[in-house]
Amino acid sequence: MLRKRRPQPEVTVGSIYRRDHHFNVIEQVEVVSIESDDAGIPHVCFDVTHLRPYGNEKQGTRVLAMATFSERYQMGDSVPA
């Protein structure tokens, strides 16, 4: 069965996205840059912070193809890191 994708706002530099994990952990990411590789595929570079009930933990910078990024993360409100 095919799932319908919800329309997502355009990914822009500075935007905050989130996804929930188990054990009350929220992965919050902030888009740092968007660039295309040599094949013309757009990639998103983003900083990752895990928001936990007992404190937040910066996880570093990661890169994903735009399509994968859009599937994994939902637009979210910023929570202080």
Output the tens digit of pLDDT for each of the chain's 81 residues. 555 555 567 899 999 999 998 888 999 999 999 999 999 999 999 999 999 999 999 999 999 999 999 999 988 765 554
pLDDT for 7: 58
Q: Alpha helices, DSSP H only, in the chain? A: 66-72
Domain boundaries, the chain: 16-75
- For residues 10 and 37, give the distance between their C-alpha atoms in angstroms, rounded to a whole number: 19
Residue 23 pLDDT? 85
Q: What is the pTM of this model?
A: 0.81
